[in-house]
Amino acid sequence: MIQGGRRGSWGTTSDARVRSTSDLRRAVTYVVYGELAFLFFTAVSVALHPGFVLKWDEGGMSNYGLHIKTAVPYTLALVLLSVYSRRAALLYADGDGRSRRLSVMLSIYSAVVLSVMVSTYFYSLNNTLKDIHFTFGTLLVVVVGVSSLWMYQLWPPTISVRLLLVVQLCGDVMALLTVVSGLHILFAAEMLSNVGFASLVVRTGRRVAAEDDETDSLCPMTT
């Protein structure tokens, strides 16, 4: 009976670990899905009306939320990015301290992205709504920048990770310069920041899942 009880305990713990590692991998997949959806529907928006952003005096993605022709792909781009980020966050919520911080980061990111999207539809009505929209946009820059720096320092950086951080921070700097100066490079800034940030999230998620796998292999019978 004692021996049988131990087998049951080991089996339950092992199953829990498998589920945990599987969840961590699925969280990375959700981040990738969200990013691919964002890039695809952004490309659809640009294809439908390239003149909004592909010009010298370019605007930002928000232009696509103001026009019926592009409102649907614009909405899908940001909704899917937000939803998949939130789904990934839920899978990290029951992990260790680092995973929980990753969950909080993705939850905040998801909420701010959704807020930027909703405020887009109304910001052209008056200056107050415009200020609210710009506030959410600035908050997104801050959240992505701080989160990228946090993820960067979790492990010794490689050359590729340094490059990803540079890409992301360049996007943030370009966005802020657009706000405070006469430069109009917002769309390029948004794309650079998004790609750099998403790549860092995927890298972080993969490392977390790999370390979880390594822990399981070292301690297969921990009760």
CB 191 within 8 A of CB 199: no
pLDDT of residue 219: 54
Kindly state whether residue 121 falls inside one of the protein's structural domains: yes
Q: State whether residue 110 is helix, strand or coil.
A: helix
Tokens 């769309």 -> residue: 187
The secondary element (H helix, E strand) that includes residue 69 is: helix 68-92
Kindly state whether residue 223 falls inside one of the protein's structural domains: no
**Which pair of structure tokens corresponds to residue 78?**
């940001």
- Quick one: angle between helices 186-218 and 159-180, nearest 10? 150
pLDDT of residue 215: 60
pLDDT of residue 21: 77
Range of the domain at 27: 2-218
pLDDT of residue 2: 36
Angstrom distance (rounded) from CA 29 to CA 9: 30
Kindly state whether residue 163 falls inside one of the protein's structural domains: yes
Q: State whether residue 58 is helix, strand or coil.
A: strand
pLDDT of residue 222: 45
pLDDT of residue 212: 67
pLDDT of residue 53: 75
pLDDT of residue 3: 40
Q: Tell me how far CA of residue 195 lies from CA of 66, 155, 213, in angstroms.
A: 24, 20, 27
Tell me the one-letter amino acid at 110.
S
pLDDT of residue 15: 45
Nearest by Cα to 146 from 84, 101, 85:
101
Q: What is the pLDDT along the chain (223 residues), one digit of tens a residue?
A: 334 433 333 344 444 454 577 889 999 999 999 999 999 999 999 999 887 777 666 678 888 898 888 999 999 999 999 999 999 999 999 878 889 999 999 999 999 999 999 999 998 888 999 899 989 999 999 999 999 999 999 999 899 999 999 999 999 988 888 777 666 788 888 999 999 999 999 999 999 988 866 665 555 544 4
Kindly state whether residue 161 falls inside one of the protein's structural domains: yes
Classify residue 31 by its DSSP letter.
H
pLDDT of residue 195: 94
The secondary element (H helix, E strand) that includes residue 89 is: helix 68-92
- In our burial notation (b when 16+ CB lie closer than 10 A, e otherwise), range 153-183 reads ebeeeeeebeebbebbbebbebbbebeeeee
pLDDT of residue 176: 82
Structurally, the chain folds into a number of domains equal to 1
